[in-house]
């Protein structure tokens, strides 16, 4: 099976949420700013629970925040 | 940089520098005529372990009493720590088998066993801290 990259729209969604900072998002999700930075840059895949929490913060369904790269 | 990543860097650097000097110095002492006394050997070991303890303690205190004390480890920190510890554990187990099951039958000197034990503890810690640093720098997937 070909390896597909997991990607996300967190940077865009933060921008659209009044330029929410990584620290602010991290605080609302319950992780550190560095973890949000790692998720955004694709260096870390969050747990299902954190992924749902991130989507909840932006008020979006999970598939609008995280997706497989085309 | 998170306190946990900085701590891994500090420990990694301290271990490599201190024991990078300790093992060659100890080995060089074995060539002395007459050989080194017990006090000289235990003195070198104490200096190495004491230095390591001071460096680790100073860095820990910086975390305990600084603003970083409020930052709790999150899922990524725990995953990085878990993966690094699991691999470090296997390295240590290999060392334990070598030191405990093989070396007692072939060692010509008690210090050989002491230093082999120390060597494997250092290697296991270097591997663990190296993997922690790598986990923070290069990331974790899957």
Tokens linked to B81:
């720590």
Q: How far is CA B3 from the centre of its chain?
A: 18
CB-side exposure of B69: number of CA atoms within 13 Å? 9
Please judge whether B74 and A31 are an interchain contact, meaning their C-beta atoms are less than 8 angstroms apart: yes
pLDDT at B73: 86
Helix (H, G, I), strand (E, B) or coil at A41: coil
Q: What are the boundaries of each domain within chain B? A: 3-138
Q: Number of CB pairs < 8 Å for A and B?
A: 36
Chain B residue with the nearest C-alpha to that of A47: B75
What pLDDT, on a 0 to 100 scale, did the predictor assign at position A52?
96
Q: What is the CATH number of domain A7-60?
A: 1.10.260
Taking a C-beta distance cutoff of 8 angstroms, is the pair A7, A42 a contact?
yes
Distance (Å) from the alpha carbon of A32 to chain B's nearest alpha carbon: 7
Contacts of B2 in chain A (CB under 8 A): 32, 34
Residues A43, B139: C-beta atoms closer than 8 Å: yes
- As a dihedral over the C-alpha atoms of residue A12, residue A16, residue A21, residue A22, rounded to 10 degrees, the angle is -30
- Report chain A's C-alpha Rg in angstroms: 12
Say if residue B42's pLDDT is above 60. Answer: yes
* Domain range summary for chain A, segments of one domain joined by +: 7-60
Residue B138: closest CA among A38, A69, A7:
A38
Residues forming beta bridges with residue A44, ordered by sequence position: B140
Tell me the pLDDT tens digit for each residue of B79-129: 999 999 999 999 999 999 999 999 999 988 899 999 999 999 999 999 999
Cβ pair A24, A36 in contact under 8 A: no
Q: Nearest Cβ partner of A35 from B76, B138, B142?
A: B76
Which pLDDT score is estimated for B60?
85
Per the listing, tokens 């932006």 go with: A58
pLDDT at residue B32 above 90? no
The contacts of residue B67 (CB under 8 Å, 6+ apart) are none
**pTM across the whole model:** 0.85
Residue with tokens 């420990």: B11
Tens-digit pLDDT profile for chain A (70 aa)? 567 778 899 999 999 999 999 999 999 999 999 999 999 998 899 999 999 999 999 999 999 999 887 6
pLDDT at residue A47, rounded to an integer: 92
Question: What is the DSSP code (8-state) at residue B107?
Answer: -
CA atoms within 13 A on the CB side of A32: 20
pLDDT surpassing 90 at residue B69: no
Q: Residue A41 and residue B139: Cβ atoms within 8 Å?
A: yes
pLDDT for the residue numbered A49: 95
pLDDT at position A6 is 82
Q: What is the ipTM metric for this complex?
A: 0.83
């Amino acid at each position: 099976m070909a390896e597909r990259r997991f990607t996300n729209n967190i940077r865009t969604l933060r921008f659209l949420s009044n330029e929410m900072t990584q620290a602010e998002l991290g605080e609302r999700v319950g992780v550190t700013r560095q973890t949000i930075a790692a998720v955004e840059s694709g260096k870390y895949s969050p747990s299902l629970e954190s992924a749902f929490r991130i989507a909840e913060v932006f008020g979006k369904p999970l598939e609008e925040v995280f997706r497989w790269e085309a | 940089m998170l306190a946990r990543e900085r701590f891994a860097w500090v420990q990694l650097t301290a271990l490599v520098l201190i024991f990078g000097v300790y093992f060659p110095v100890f080995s060089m002492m074995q060539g002395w005529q007459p050989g080194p006394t017990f006090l000289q050997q235990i003195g070198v070991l104490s200096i190495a372990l004491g230095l390591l303890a001071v460096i680790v303690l100073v860095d820990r205190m910086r975390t305990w009493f600084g603003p970083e004390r409020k930052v709790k480890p999150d899922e990524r920190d725990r995953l990085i720590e878990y993966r690094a510890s699991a691999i470090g554990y296997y390295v240590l187990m290999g060392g334990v088998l070598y030191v405990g099951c093989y070396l007692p039958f072939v060692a010509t000197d008690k210090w050989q066993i002491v230093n082999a034990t120390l060597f494997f503890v250092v290697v296991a810690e270097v591997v663990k801290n190296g993997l922690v640093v790598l986990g923070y720098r290069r990331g974790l997937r899957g």
